[in-house]
Amino acid sequence: MIGLPLVYLLAGLMFAAFAGLSLADRENNKRLGNAAFWGLFALSFLAGDHLGDLGNGLLALALALIAGAGQLGVGVPRTTSPEDRETLAARYGARLFIPALVIPVLVLAGSLAFKRLTLNGAPLVDPKQATLISLALAALVAAVLAQVMFRQPAVSAVQEGRRLMDLVGWAALLPQMLAALGAVFALAGVGKTIGEIAVMVTPADSRFAAVAAYCLGMAVFTIMMGNAFAAFPVMTGGIALPLVIGRFGGDPAVVCAIGMLSGFCGTLLTPLAANFNLVPAALLQLKDRYAVIRAQAPTAILMLIVNVILMNALAFHA
């Protein structure tokens, strides 16, 4: 069965190639740091399941130390100049969009089709991982297609991948690191403590105050933990079930649906939601790490107010 291990192997090989090319990049004066960083990340993908828990912890620590010591530079692989690109764009025109569109089309087709594909009655592709496997396959097909259609050198896929990866730098690992932090926080009972505090400060005698406390609590908790999914059980169990639903008779479907969306307002405001808020700032080469958060903050705050109003207006039928 094709499953995550194959995807991890592919990712491991890609990062190993980034590490090798970084090492050979004499124009990058931090090439050793880059090589070590992407090399360790490759090791995590290739051998993570054999390193043991402590081994993986040390690996994560080493990655953080390399990044924290400022040992990551930006490699400069030989690529086309802006003038070349204008010429190429004029030559190839709208055909350039085709490989870019192949990615979503294949992700969609794979997500749907892989679940039905069987070999001797057993699923050929792990149905739980259909989307990730489709994404890996789509990325591979699009890279080869782009290389063939536009006659790019064979090494360009890895070199160009490394060029973009170096722009993202340490931010690339932040989502995974934050997921691991979430697990440690859960182990230490951080969420439970925040929930207890939220319940303590919630006024119990006003319906509107309970609704507002639940929505704001979801947003603030999400800002602190980086994830609305971590906030939901704590806030709903602590405030929504006993008060908004229990005492004031709110419709659970309305309360929970809008409660979760209030949490999403928090996601838009926190650097801990790294893959949405910090990674794009790196990808787009923004000078301010928090520029994306600043751009979406007015929308997030207005939406939080709207959610409080909507829950108050829609959840109480009687």
Partner 1 sequence: MLTLLGVAVIVLGFALRFNPLLVVIAAALASGLAAGLTPVEVLAAFGKAFNTNRYVSVAWLVLPAIGVLERAGLREQARRTIQSLRAATAGRILLAYLALRQIAAALGLTQVAGQAQTVRPLLAPMAEAAAEPLSDDDRQRVRAMSAATDNVGLFFGEDIFLAIGSILLIVGFLDQSGITVEPLALSVWAIPTAIAAFLIHGARLLLFDRTLKPQAEDAA
87 binds partner 1 (CB under 8 A): yes
Contact flag: residue 210 with partner 1 (CB under 8 A) = no
Q: How many angstroms separate the CA atoms of 31 and 155, rounded?
A: 19
Interaction of residue 6 with partner 1, rule CB under 8 A: no
Among 61, 117, 124, 209, binds partner 1 (CB under 8 A): 61
Q: Which of 73, 99, 217, 238 binds partner 1 (CB under 8 A)?
A: 99
SS3 content of the chain, % helix, strand, coil (to 5): 75, 0, 20
The one among 160, 195, 199, 212 contacting partner 1 by CB under 8 A: 160
Residue 42 is a binding residue for partner 1 (CB under 8 A): no
Q: Between 190-201 and 174-188, two packed helices, what is the crossing angle to 10 degrees?
A: 70
Phi, psi angles (nearest 5°) of residue 70: 70, 30
Per DSSP, the residues of 149-213 read HTT--TTHHHHHHHHHHHHHGGGGGHHHHHHHHHHHHHHHTHHHHHHHHHHHHS-SS-HHHHHHH
Q: Which of residues 218-257 bind partner 1 (CB under 8 A)?
A: 224, 228-229, 232-233, 236-237, 241, 245, 252-254, 256-257
Question: Are the C-beta atoms of residues 41 and 14 closer than 8 Å to each other?
Answer: no
- Is 283 a binding residue for partner 1 by CB under 8 A? The answer is yes
Q: What are phi and psi of 118, to 5 degrees?
A: -130, 155
User: Distance (Å, rounded) from C-alpha 306 to C-alpha 212?
Assistant: 11
First and final CA of the chain: distance in angstroms? 53
Cα 45–chain centre separation? 17
Q: Is 128 in the site for partner 1 (CB under 8 A)?
A: no
Whole-angstrom distance, CA of residue 8 vs CA of residue 295? 34
Q: Which of 2, 6, 23, 140 touches partner 1 by CB under 8 A?
A: 140
By CB under 8 A, residue 178 contacts partner 1:
yes
288 binds partner 1 (CB under 8 A): yes
CA dist., res. 279 & res. 281, Å (int): 5
Interface pick for partner 1 out of 49, 76, 118, 204 (rule CB under 8 A): 49
Question: With binding defined as CB under 8 A, does residue 20 bind partner 1?
Answer: no
Q: What is the distance between the alpha carbons of residues 217 and 249, in angstroms, rounded to a whole number?
A: 19
Query: Closest separation between CB of residue 41 and partner 1, Å?
Result: 8
CA atoms within 13 A of residue 14's CA, in its CB half-sphere: 20
CA 1 to chain centre: 26
Smallest distance from the beta carbon of 213 to partner 1, in angstroms? 18
Q: Give the one residue of 44, 202, 222, 312 binding partner 1; rule: CB under 8 A.
A: 44
> Which single residue is written with the structure tokens 């794009």?
280
Looking at 22-30, 113-121, 149-157, 206-214, which segment touches partner 1 (CB under 8 A)?
149-157
Residue 118, interface with partner 1 (CB under 8 A)? no
CB of 152 to partner 1, least distance (A): 5
Per CB under 8 A, the list member of 177, 207, 248, 316 interacting with partner 1 is 177
Contact predicate 99/91, CB 8 Å: no
Work out which of 188, 208, 209, 247 binds partner 1, going by CB under 8 A.
188
* Piece in contact with partner 1 (CB under 8 A), picked from 19-27, 50-58, 117-125, 200-208: 50-58
* Minimum CB–partner distance for residue 128 and partner 1 (Å): 11
Nearer to partner 1, 213 or 261 (CB): 261
Tell me if 130 contacts partner 1 by CB under 8 A.
Answer: no
Least distance in angstroms from the C-beta of 211 to partner 1: 14
